[in-house]
Structure 1
Amino acid sequence: MAHRIISQIVFTGARVFGRAFAEAYKQASASQRYAAANSNNSTAAKSMSSSGLTLDEACRILNVSPPRGGQASLDRVHEQFKRLFDMNDPKKGGSFYLQSKVLRARERIELEAQRLKRQEQMNAHLRQEQQQQSPPSS
């Protein structure tokens, strides 16, 4: 009689575990498909960098406008970074977490500025090539 109860407990437990495992596998599979579909989305890749911040969030953290290719805006970014980074120094009673957020915001804005600069250089190069290839009109 005891062996019958023990075997029922084992079979019931195995069945519950099997169903839970199957459900977890379905959820993981759906999550993986969703992540793969979103990784192909170019706007999602552009809005987030390795820092995990969007450009808008980074600009709000440092209280600056988004970069438009000008050096003046990067100077303002560096001023705000220095001020906020020093203000949040843990030795002065600040927060390491906030310091890291300020650092990531600066890195994100610099990354975007570099991307814009490269894009502008490529556009200038393409315009130059088009001017050289176009026949002179006489």
Structure 2
Amino acid sequence: MAKFLAQLIVAGAQVVGRAFARAVKQEIEASQQAAQRLNNTRTRSERVANQKLGLSLEEAKQILNVSKLTREEIEERYQSLFKANEKTSLYLQSKVVRAKERLDHELMAESQKKSQNPKEDISSGNAT
């Protein structure tokens, strides 16, 4: 009986050990992938926005299913998704809100960039 109990304990420890090792390995891989995604961002301001708002620009576009960054399209998709998830999922609703915040942040950054560099449009021949 003692031999059987010892074998059971050893087998259980092996199973738990393998599961723990697998979980650690998966966590390391996920961490490396997250670091790689963070390093793939184009600019420092984009990295800061990703960290601040918790979503990358691409993730936000996927959540709201928008291809172009226009206020009208973003607002339309936001309203429809927010209302669709109003009674079913607070989590999805919060993701929709975060995606809209991220896209709004990007639109604001673009408009600030354009207002800071109006001479570039004139000098490049894009003026009308």
Instruction: Name 1:56's counterpart in structure 2.
Output: 61
Structure 1 pair 65–102 and aligned structure 2 pair: CA distance change class (3 A) = farther
User: 1:131 — aligned with what?
Assistant: none
Aligned positions, number: 106
User: Given that residues 58 and 105 in structure 1 are in contact (C-alpha distance below 8 angstroms), is that contact kept between their aligned partners in structure 2?
Assistant: yes
Counterpart amino acid of residue 95 in structure 2: R
Given the two structures, how large is their TM-score scaled by the length of structure 2?
Answer: 0.55
Deviation, structure 1 residue 15 = 1.0
Kept in 1, the 8 Å contact 2:64–2:81? The answer is no
Give the one of 99, 109, 113 matched to 1:108: 99
Identify the match of residue 78 of structure 2 among 77, 81, 86: 81
Q: Cα–Cα, structure 1 residues 13 and 76, in superposed 2: closer, same or farther, change >3 Å?
A: same
Q: Tell me the CA shift for residue 78 of structure 1.
A: 2.8
Larger Rg: 1
| RMSD value, Cα | 3.8
CA distance 1:115–1:26, change in 2 (3 Å): same
Cα distance in 2 for partners of 1:23, 1:87 equals: 43
Query: Percent identity over the alignment?
Result: 11
